[in-house]
């Protein structure tokens, strides 16, 4: 039986890696990250930090082909909430290839205080395990685990709520505005992928978003004070269910 701990570069899956490593030091875990090649630089830095602090090796899986290849194959049709070909091609397929026909326990970092299922493989040899649910681990425990381990939170939490591709369509408008601030080169790359009516945000191109950046920020900060905005980004789970766990653990 293989034991696969799925990492996303986010807080929960990192806390799970720390938790399992400490709780079952004799289990030979495989720590796996599905790399689309379009992750945030902060995510790669965070993964390096996890490896260093925990003294583990993280297997980085990829699809062999870049995002541009699949985009062309899809005739320029950008991935969307309703057509998640990005996840299928760049995360699920590489992960299932890696697992093969071996019997595996796949450890998923859903917390006890969350109401979602996440990605469940249809392969019969994959047995999904939810240690945080089984052990009643909630958000406060995750924070404690990360702080005590000295890994802490990924730095992108300053401006974005989750890991994943820089162009992820699950990010909110304020996070797109923040992407432009923190990584203008990545924002521009995402903008170049937009063509005709294919836009990352329904009914709004990234160019339009840039023009409306100030207004988006004002509206956001009017609703949430600047002080609380970071916490708000972290807490807001309103679209968690739509984002599969293989992307956002
Ligand atoms: S993080 Fe977002 S864009 Fe990237 S594969 Fe997952 S759903 Fe697609």
Q: Is the CB of 87 under 6 A from ligand 1?
A: yes
Is pLDDT of 48 > 90? Answer: yes
| Model pLDDT, residue 231 | 58
In this prediction, residues 25-52 reach a mean pLDDT of: 97
Coil, helix or strand at residue 198? strand
Among 119-133, 159-173, 174-188, name the one with the lowest average pLDDT: 119-133
- Could you give the CA distance from residue 51 to residue 55 in angstroms, rounded to a whole number? 5
Q: Is the CB of 164 under 6 A from ligand 1?
A: yes
Centre of ligand 1 to C-alpha 27, Å, is 30
Is pLDDT of 244 > 60? Answer: no
Q: Which residue did the predictor score with more confidence, 170 or 241?
A: 170
Contacts of 131 (CB under 8 A, 6+ apart): 16, 19, 20, 107, 137
| Model pLDDT, residue 132 | 96
Residue range 110-155, pLDDT digits in tens: 999 987 766 677 789 999 999 999 999 999 999 999 999 999 999 9
Is pLDDT of 243 > 50? Answer: yes
Reading the block at residue 125, the tokens are 């040899």
- Could you give the CA distance from residue 166 to residue 144 in angstroms, rounded to a whole number? 28
Q: Which residue did the predictor score with more confidence, 104 or 240?
A: 104
Counting ligand 1 atoms within 8 A of each CB, the residue from 43, 87, 175, 190 with the most, and so the one to mutate, is 87
Per DSSP, 90 falls in state I
Which among 85, 70, 43, 61 is positioned nearest to 169, based on CA atoms? 85
Is pLDDT of 240 > 60? Answer: no
| Model pLDDT, residue 13 | 95
Query: C-alpha angle with apex 197: 118 to 204, nearest 5 degrees?
Result: 70
Coil, helix or strand at residue 2? strand
Number of H helices, E strands in the chain: 12, 5
Counting ligand 1 atoms within 8 A of each CB, the residue from 9, 35, 36, 175 with the most, and so the one to mutate, is 36
Counting ligand 1 atoms within 8 A of each CB, the residue from 8, 66, 79 with the most, and so the one to mutate, is 79
Coil, helix or strand at residue 54? helix
| Model pLDDT, residue 196 | 80
Please check whether the domain covering 1-249 is classified as CATH 3.30.70.260: no
pLDDT band with cut points at 50, 70 and 90 for residue 161: confident
Is pLDDT of 87 > 90? Answer: yes
Is pLDDT of 239 > 50? Answer: no
Atom of ligand 1 nearest to the CA of 38: 4
Q: Is the CB of 108 under 6 A from ligand 1?
A: no
Tell me how far CA of residue 239 lies from CA of 31, 37, 116, 127, in angstroms.
26, 24, 11, 26
Could you tell me if 15 and 145 are in contact, meaning their C-beta atoms sit under 8 angstroms apart?
yes
Contacts of 31 (CB under 8 A, 6+ apart): 5, 7, 17, 50, 56, 57, 58, 59
pLDDT band with cut points at 50, 70 and 90 for residue 237: very low
| Model pLDDT, residue 82 | 87
Centre of ligand 1 to C-alpha 26, Å, is 33
Tell me how far CA of residue 186 lies from CA of 149, 209, 229, in angstroms.
31, 15, 23
Helix residue ranges per DSSP H, the chain: 11-23, 41-54, 67-73, 85-87, 93-99, 131-134, 139-149, 173-182, 184-193, 206-211, 213-223, 226-235
| Model pLDDT, residue 69 | 97
| Model pLDDT, residue 227 | 62
Strand partners, 147: none
Strands 2-7 and 126-129: unpaired
Residue nearest to atom 5 of ligand 1 (CA): 87
| Model pLDDT, residue 102 | 97
Could you tell me if 137 and 131 are in contact, meaning their C-beta atoms sit under 8 angstroms apart?
yes
């Amino acid at each position: 039986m293989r034991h696969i701990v799925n990492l996303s570069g986010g807080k929960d899956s990192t806390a799970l890696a720390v938790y399992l490593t400490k709780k079952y030091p004799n289990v030979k875990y495989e720590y796996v990250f599905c790399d689309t090649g379009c992750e945030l630089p902060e995510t790669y830095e965070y993964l390096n930090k996890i490896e260093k602090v925990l003294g583990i090796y993280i297997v980085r899986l990829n699809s062999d082909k870049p995002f541009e290849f699949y985009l062309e194959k899809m005739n320029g049709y950008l991935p969307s909430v309703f057509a998640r070909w990005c996840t299928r091609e760049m995360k699920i397929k590489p992960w299932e290839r890696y697992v093969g026909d071996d019997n595996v326990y796949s450890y998923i970092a859903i917390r006890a205080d969350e109401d979602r299922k996440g990605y469940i493989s249809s392969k019969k040899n994959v047995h999904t395990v939810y240690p945080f649910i089984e052990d009643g681990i909630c958000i406060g425990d995750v924070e404690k685990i990360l702080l005590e381990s000295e890994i802490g939170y990924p730095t992108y939490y300053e401006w974005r709520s989750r890991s994943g591709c820089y162009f992820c369509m699950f990010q909110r408008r304020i996070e797109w505005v923040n992407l432009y601030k923190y990584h203008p080169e990545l924002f521009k790359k995402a903008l170049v992928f937009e063509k005709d009516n294919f836009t990352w945000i329904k009914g709004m191109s990234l160019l339009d978003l840039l023009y409306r950046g100030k207004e988006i920020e004002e509206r956001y900060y009017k609703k949430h004070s600047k002080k609380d905005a970071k916490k708000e980004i972290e807490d807001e789970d309103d679209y968690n269910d739509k984002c599969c766990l293989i992307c956002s653990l």
